[in-house]
Structure 1
Amino acid sequence: MPMQTKLLSLSIIAGSMVVSAAQADTIRIATEGAYPPFNYIDESGELKGFDVDIAKALCEEMQADCEIIAQAWDGIIPGLVTGRYDAIVASMSITERRKEAVNFTRPYYQVGAALVAPVDSDIAFEPGRLDGKVIGVQRATTYANLLAGEYPEATVNNYDTVENHNLDLQSGRLDGVVGQAVLMQEWINEHGKGAYEIKGEPVLDVDYIGEGAGIAVNKNNPELLERLDTALATILENGVYDDISASYFPFSIRPQ
């Protein structure tokens, strides 16, 4: 092979290696984009929220480029398993069932399930108190599992998004809705103050709600899991996590 051709080949190979290295350090992260204040799409079409800011902080700590994309909740785990992205930062509760499909980091926040209903309603997370009631919940969530497992006498309507079941609550089609406590309190503050309230204490049953929200990673990528866990421990320790949390919530959701 002539020297010039050989040098050209080496140059192409070296260039390919650089591109591959750069690509390898670009972490594709999925979030839902329909779960404010944790993840949502703003007026300019950008993904925003607590989950998004945590993802960016982790990527900065790992010195990795981030590509954050929106993915509908129903297909979010299948998309990870098939390699459409590398991780999920979308307020996903860690459960034993989900662990069969993906790996999780340690929890990055912990919040319970809240039952929201009109202030004059007497429904509650107690035996018999939801019998015959029509309750809205986002499908394929731990909250849907909680209702199916503990309140089989309730009529459960499943929705694609939290926003849609809240709209039906406001229109009177539902007796109550079940969702993540912080999210539901935010909704009450903005849209239902004086009309709706959280009934009783949020449920923190680990069998349904899980250990908290974790970052999901493909089972074939243990290196990324370790990097994310290390970065998460760092931002929890150095104050970055607390600064992000304080910009969204007046109380702590820091994992125990």
Structure 2
Amino acid sequence: MLKKILLGLLTFFAINSLYAEDINLWKKSTLNKILDKGVLKVGLEPGYMPFEMKDRKGRIIGYDVDIAKAMAKAMGVKLEIVPTAFDGIIAGLLTGKFDIIIAGMTITQQRNLKINFSDPYLVVGQTVLLNKEFEQKIKSAKDLDDKKYVITAKLGQTGEIVAKKFFKNAKINTFDTEAEAVAEVLNGKATAFINDQPYNAIFADDKGKGKLVHLDKPLTYEPLAFAIRKGDPDFLNWLNNFLRQIKEDKVVNLHEILYQKWFVDTKWLDKLQ
């Protein structure tokens, strides 16, 4: 009889201990803190079309901004955008300046050592914008790997990593913004610019029309995802369920609506600075 009582007590304490541990994990979760504060803080860098950029009135708009708005609405909280330079955005997340990165960030093994990623919300690849002068000489990206060519990319983005990985012989110049990097190609100071496919496709049809050639075969497979701090399974679970909902809902498919708005219909270009 005593053994049964002792066993029952041990089981009771074990269950209570696990319950207390779960409660503590929930209290530490970023999701719980967001709900308590009533604010979702999102880190991103304006200037990456069509994911995040400023309109003529200085407002930050874009695909990622609309995703963030939908996320905050689903949580029942306010949204606060925290503009942050991309090369310092992971440090900003780790030091608690914001709750999540929604900035067209590619999942890489190196980044994954420091932070956790949700399931991908979009898949893109790096492509090449080529100065039209070289249209006859360069038929594919591999032709760029020559010491006589200059390739530009944005500092800290995947384009820089890809440029250095695939083009060992060409000269690689990096810049703080996409605009500066692609301007070098437009002005004839560089041969080509490496960046994400959506950005390059939109730029080629807008400011680069008649001046640049888009070599649109992707060099890489790049899943874009939300980034959060490590050790937060509750927040990660919520984010992945949020993604499934906006992608699979048959009545209002938000994922498809936003894709059409920002990647197919380019009326938003008229709103930019």
The normalised TM-score by structure 2 is 0.78
Contact 1:62 1:227 (8 Å CA) reproduced: no
Q: CA deviation at 1:150?
A: 2.0
Q: Which residue of 2 aligns with 1:10?
A: none
Q: Give the aligned partner of residue 28 of structure 1.
A: 41
- Aligned residue among 89, 106, 110 for 1:97: 110
Q: Return the alpha-carbon distance in structure 1 between the equivalents of residues 233 and 187 of structure 2.
A: 47
Please state how far the C-alpha of 1:165 moved relative to its aligned partner: 0.9
Q: Deviations over 1:51-108 (max 9, x none)?
A: 1001111222233332112111111000001111110000000011111111111111
Higher helix share: 2
Letter matched to residue 241 of structure 1: H
Indicate whether 1:227 and 2:243 are aligned.
no
Using a 3 Å threshold, how does the CA distance of structure 1 residues 118 and 22 change in structure 2: closer, same or farther?
closer
Structure 1: state its 5+ residue gaps.
1-19, 252-256
Counterpart Cα distance in 2 of 1:77 and 1:200: 29
**Are the counterparts in 1 of residues 86 and 157 from structure 2 also a CA contact under 8 Å?**
no
1:186 maps to 202
Instruction: State whether residues 188 and 196 of structure 1, in contact with CA within 8 Å, keep that contact through their aligned partners in structure 2.
Output: yes
Corresponding position: 1:148 with 2:188: no
Q: CA deviation at 1:22?
A: 5.2
2:180 to 164, 179, 186: 164
Alignment partner of 2:257 out of 226, 230, 243: 243
The AA in structure 2 aligned to 1:129 is L
SS in structure 1 at match of 2:263: coil
Report the CA distance between 1:125 and its aligned residue: 2.0
CA separation of 1:227 and 1:175: change in aligned 2, threshold 3 A: same
Offset from partner CA, 1:157-191 (integer Å, 9 cap, x none): 00111000111111111011101111011111111
State whether residues 110 and 213 of structure 1, in contact with CA within 8 Å, keep that contact through their aligned partners in structure 2: yes
Residue 140 of structure 1 aligns to a residue whose secondary structure is coil
Alpha-carbon distance change, 22 to 114 in structure 1, aligned in 2, over 3 angstroms: closer
Normalising by the residue count of structure 1, what TM-score does the alignment of the two structures yield?
Answer: 0.83
- For 1:129, the equivalent position in structure 2 comes to 144
Answer yes or no: is the 8 Å Cα contact 1:89–1:216 preserved in 2.
yes
Runs of 4+ with >3 A deviation: 20-25
In structure 1, what is the equivalent of residue 91 of structure 2? 78
| Partner SS for 1:84 | coil
Deviations 1:35-58 (A, max 9, x none): 121101222221110010011112
Q: How far did 1:120 drift? A: 4.0
The separation in 1 between residues aligned to 2:35 and 2:106, in whole angstroms, is 31
Residues paired across the two proteins, number: 226
Unaligned runs of 5+ in 2: 1-32, 266-273
Write the letter of the residue equivalent to 2:114. Answer: A
Q: RMSD in angstroms over aligned alpha carbons?
A: 1.8
